[in-house]
């Protein structure tokens, strides 16, 4: 193997981020296979390559044993000591068997191996880069659409946005730039596969982390996220500094921060509520914008009975039960909502509690939505 070829292989390896030692090791392993294939050897073979000159040598290796059972791989202690008296059982005796016409084969093999190693290394680096970015947001361009799958160009690789990970009613055109959430990075025979999502609750959480400096600094913490992608989401937050309003920080001046996220999610409504270690207060907050009179906790069954004013029942349950469903997901509690009239009819005792009211824009609930809620309750 010429010095020029060796240098070219090393330069190519450096360009792709592969250490020269790794290339030499790969070439040596490939030359062993090539030697056995071309010269029909079943012996133990070793190849060494001079990293400076490119000279290589092929050696047959024999294990030193007391009694020979396989002449192709073993040598007796007596015969070994004829070559060098210092040999002992367990040592390895080498004999150079470099073929005269092996140079051309070596050069071809070296090229093939390095090309293959570069491919593997590139795939490995891409896998490492993106596996470390699982649960993070990436921005890419819609490159192609096949069988309802969107393939997004991330620069070094394509990501797949499957049908189940697309927001209902949301459509994308070729070359649209969109933000997605990396759900999983898989290894495959064709290289890494990156599965992304627009519906995952983690997307909403990461968008707030990127948009709100107080969350980045650790002053405000996102405790939980419940999401029905494309329709409505709830986010519970907590401030580690009593001087920082966690809800206000997430909303931003004139609602700028939360509006940027709503725009990114193409109109998805977002409720931001204050987290509390008191489950009663937390559940009352989670049912915002509805006003809650009392929350009765069953710790053993992790159930909560919530009493609301009669006129707030439809709002507490939400369109097709959405508000109650999201509140249950957010808090991790099963929630049974009853109006004051229903509680009185069922003989349920309750006391009006002074729950902290959440900041909320009730304009999110239009007249049509109220009508649909009423229809749902009647059914």
DSSP string of 254-307?
GGHHHHHHHHHTTS-EEEEEE--SSHHHHHHHHTTTS--SEEEEETTTTEEEEE
pLDDT in tens, 300-310: 999 999 999 99
What pTM does this model have?
A: 0.69
Q: Are 28 and 47 in contact (CB under 8 A)?
A: yes
pLDDT in tens, 245-300: 999 999 999 999 999 999 999 999 999 999 999 999 999 999 999 999 999 999 99
Could you give the CA distance from residue 159 to residue 372 in angstroms, rounded to a whole number?
38
Q: What is the CA angle 258-208-184, rounded to 5? A: 135
CA 366 remoteness from chain centre? 37
Residue 88: partners with Cβ closer than 8 Å, 6 or more residues away: 64, 77
* Residue 323 in this model has a pLDDT that exceeds 60: yes
* Residue 139 in this model has a pLDDT that exceeds 60: yes
* CA-to-CA separations, 307 to 145, 294, 297, 374, in angstroms, rounded: 49, 5, 12, 18
* CA-to-CA separations, 333 to 240, 245, 288, 308, 330, in angstroms, rounded: 24, 25, 15, 17, 8
Write down all domains in the chain, each with its CATH number in brackets. Answer: 3-130 (3.30.1480.10), 133-197 (2.40.50.140), 200-275 (3.30.300.20), 278-379 (3.30.300.20)
pLDDT band for 365, please (50, 70, 90 cuts).
very low
Could you give the CA distance from residue 294 to residue 189 in angstroms, rounded to a whole number?
58
Instruction: State how beta strands 158-161 and 193-197 pair.
Output: parallel
For residue 313, count other CB atoms closer than 10 A to its CB: 20
Could you give the 3-state DSSP secondary structure of residue 199? coil
- What was the pLDDT predicted at 59? 86
């Amino acid at each position: 193997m010429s010095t020029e070829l060796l240098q070219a292989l090393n330069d190519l390896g450096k360009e792709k981020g592969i250490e020269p030692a790794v290339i030499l090791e790969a070439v040596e392993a490939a030359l062993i296979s090539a030697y056995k294939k071309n010269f029909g050897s079943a012996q133990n073979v070793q190849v060494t390559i001079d990293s400076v000159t490119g000279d290589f040598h092929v050696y047959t290796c024999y294990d030193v044993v007391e009694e020979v059972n396989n002449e192709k791989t073993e040598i007796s202690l007596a015969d070994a000591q004829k070559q060098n008296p210092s040999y002992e059982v367990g040592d390895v005796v080498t004999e150079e068997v470099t073929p005269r016409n092996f140079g051309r084969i070596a050069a071809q093999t070296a090229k093939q191996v390095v090309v293959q190693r570069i491919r593997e290394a590139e795939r490995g680096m891409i896998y490492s880069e993106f596996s470390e970015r699982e649960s993070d947001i990436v921005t890419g361009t819609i490159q192609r659409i096949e069988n309802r799958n969107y393939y997004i160009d991330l620069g070094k690789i394509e990501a797949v946005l499957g049908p189940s990970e697309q927001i209902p009613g949301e459509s994308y055109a070729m070359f649209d730039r969109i933000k997605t959430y990396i759900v999983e990075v898989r290894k495959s025979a064709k290289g890494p596969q990156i599965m992304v999502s627009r519906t995952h609750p983690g997307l909403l959480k990461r968008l707030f982390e990127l948009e709100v400096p107080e969350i980045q600094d650790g002053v405000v913490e996102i405790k939980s996220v419940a999401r029905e992608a494309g329709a409505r989401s709830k986010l519970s937050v907590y401030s580690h500094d009593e001087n920082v309003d966690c809800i206000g920080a997430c909303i931003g001046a004139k609602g700028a921060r939360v509006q940027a996220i709503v725009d990114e999610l193409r109109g998805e409504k977002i409720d931001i509520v204050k987290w509390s270690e008191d489950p009663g207060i937390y559940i009352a907050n989670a049912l915002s914008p509805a006003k809650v009179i009392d929350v009765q906790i069953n710790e053993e069954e992790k159930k909560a009975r919530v009493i609301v004013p009669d006129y707030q029942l439809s709002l507490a349950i939400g369109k097709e039960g959405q508000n109650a469903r999201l509140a249950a997901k957010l808090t991790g509690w099963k929630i049974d909502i009853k109006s004051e009239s229903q509680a009185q009819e069922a003989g349920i005792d309750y006391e009006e509690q002074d729950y902290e009211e959440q900041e909320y824009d009730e304009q999110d609930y239009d007249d049509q939505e109220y009508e649909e809620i009423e229809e749902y309750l009647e059914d």
